[in-house]
Chain A
Amino acid sequence: MAKPKSSTKLAQIDTLSSTMKQKIQRHPYFLIWSFLALTSLLSILLSISFGSTHVTWSQWTGSLFQPHSLQHTIIFKLRLPRTICAFITGGLLALAGALMQTLFRNPLADPFILGISGGAAVMSLIAIMLGLAASHIALWAFVGSLFSIYLVMVLARVRKRGWSPLHLLLTGVVVATGWSAIISLILTISPDNYLHSMLFWLMGDLSYAKFAWWQPAVLIVSLIASLMLAKPLNVLAQGDLSARSLGIDTHKLNFILFIISSLLTSAAVSIAGTIGFVGLIVPHMLRLMVGSDHRIILPASVLLGGSLLTFADTLARTLVAPVQLPVGIVTAVIGVPSFLILLQRGYQK
Chain B
Amino acid sequence: MTALTIQDLTITIEERTLVDQLSVEFLDSQVWGILGSNGAGKTTLLHTIAGLRKNQTGTIQLNNKDIFQIKAKRRAKKIGLLRQDGEFSFPSTVLETALIGRYPHQKNWFYDEEKDIEFAKQILEQVGLSQFEHRTVTNLSGGEKRKLMLAILLIQNPDIYLLDEPTNHLDMQQRVQMLARLTKLAQQQHKIVIMILHDIHLMSHFCDHIILFEEQGKIRTGKCQDILNKATLHRLFPIYMKENCINL
For B47, the closest partner residue in chain A by CB is: A241
Check if B50 is an interface residue, CB within 8 A of chain A.
yes
Min CB–CB distance A281 → chain B (angstroms): 15
25 A-B contacts (beta carbon < 8 Å)? A105-B90, A106-B89, A228-B109, A228-B110, A231-B103, A234-B92, A234-B96, A237-B89, A237-B92, A239-B89, A241-B47, A241-B52, A242-B83, A242-B100, A245-B76, A245-B80, A247-B71, A247-B74, A248-B72, A287-B90, A292-B90, A292-B91, A292-B92, A293-B96, A346-B91
B89 touches A246 (CB 8 A): no
Report the separation of the CA atoms of residues A346 and B135 in the bound assembly, to the nearest whole angstrom: 12
A26 vs chain B, min Cβ distance (A): 12
Tell yes or no: A159 within 8 A of B by CB. Answer: no
Residues 4 to 56 of chain B near chain A (Cβ within 8 Å): 47, 50, 52
Is A105 a contact of B104 with CB atoms below 8 Å?
A: no
Find chain B residues with CB under 8 A from A54 CB: none
B93 surroundings in chain A (CB, below 8 A): 291
Interface size of A in residues (CB-CB distance below 8 Å): 30
The complex places the Cα of A9 from the Cα of B92 at a distance, in Å, of 40
Task: State A292–B87 Cα separation when bound (angstroms).
Answer: 15
Beyond A234-B99, A242-B152: 10 further Cβ-contacts under 8 Å?
A107-B89, A228-B110, A231-B106, A231-B110, A234-B96, A237-B90, A239-B83, A244-B72, A247-B73, A291-B136
Residues of the A chain whose Cβ atoms lie less than 8 Å from the Cβ of B47? 241
Whether B157 sits at the interface, judged by CB under 8 Å, is: no
Query: What is the distance, in angstroms, from A165's C-beta to the closest C-beta of chain B?
Result: 11
What total of chain B residues lie within 8 Å of the partner, measured CB to CB? 35
- Which of A101, A106, A247 touches B104 (beta carbons < 8 Å)? A247
What's the minimum C-beta distance from A70 to chain B, rounded to whole angstroms?
48
Docked complex Cα distance between A242 and B101 (Å): 9
Q: CB-defined interface of B68-90 with A at 8 Å, one 1/0 digit per residue? A: 00011111110111010001111
Name the residue on A nearest B92 (C-beta): A292
A288 at the interface (CB under 8 A from B): yes
Nearest first, the 7 closest Cβ-Cβ pairs linking A and B are: A247-B76, A247-B73, A292-B92, A245-B81, A292-B90, A247-B72, A105-B89
Question: Which of these, B75, B87, B96, contacts A247 with CB under 8 Å?
Answer: B75
Encoded as 1 (CB less than 8 Å from any B CB) or 0, chain A from 121 to 140 comes to 00000000000000000000
B residues within 8 A CB of A187?
A: none
**Is B216 interfacial (CB 8 A cutoff)?**
no
In the assembled complex, the Cα of A231 lies from the Cα of B110 at a distance in Å of 7
Mark interface residues in A233-265 (1 if CB within 8 Å of B CB, else 0).
011011101101111110000000000000000
B104 near A246: Cβ-Cβ < 8 Å: yes
A295 in contact with B89 (CB, 8 Å):
no
Do B50 and A245 touch (CB < 8 A)? yes
A241 touches B103 (CB 8 A): no
Q: Within the complex, which residue of B50, B74, B77, B109 is in contact with A231, where a contact is CB–CB below 8 Å?
A: B109
Choose among A241, A245, A247, A349 the residue that contacts B136 (Cβ–Cβ < 8 A).
Answer: A349
Tell whether B183 is near chain A: CB-to-CB under 8 Å: no
- When each residue 264-288 of chain A gets 1 if its CB lies under 8 Å from chain B and 0 otherwise, what string results? 0000000000000000000000011
Q: How far is the CA of A292 from the CA of B95 in the complex (A)?
A: 11
Those of B119-174 within 8 Å (CB) of chain A: 136, 139, 152, 156
User: Closest chain A residue to B50 by CB distance?
Assistant: A245
Instruction: Return chain B residues, CB-CB under 8 Å to A107.
Output: 89-90
Tell me, yes or no, whether A230 is within 8 Å of chain B by CB.
yes
By the criterion CB–CB under 8 Å, are A288 and B91 in contact? yes
- Answer whether residue A153 sits at the interface, using C-beta atoms and an 8 A cutoff: no
Q: B46 to nearest A CB, angstroms?
A: 10
Q: Are A245 and B83 in contact (CB under 8 A)?
A: yes
Minimum C-beta distance from A24 to chain B (A)? 14
Q: Of A230, A244, A288, which one neighbours B110 at CB under 8 angstroms? A: A230
> Hey, which chain B residues are within 8 Å of A232, CB to CB?
103
Tell me if B101 and A291 are in contact (CB < 8 A).
no
* B76 and A246 within 8 A (CB): yes
The answer to whether A292 and B101 touch (CB under 8 A), given A231-B109, A246-B76, A247-B73, is: no
Q: Are B103 and A247 in contact (CB under 8 A)?
A: yes
Measured in the bound complex, the distance between the Cα atoms of B88 and A111 in whole Å is: 22
User: In whole Å, how far is A107's beta carbon from the nearest beta carbon of chain B?
Assistant: 6
* Nearest B residue (CB) for A235: B100
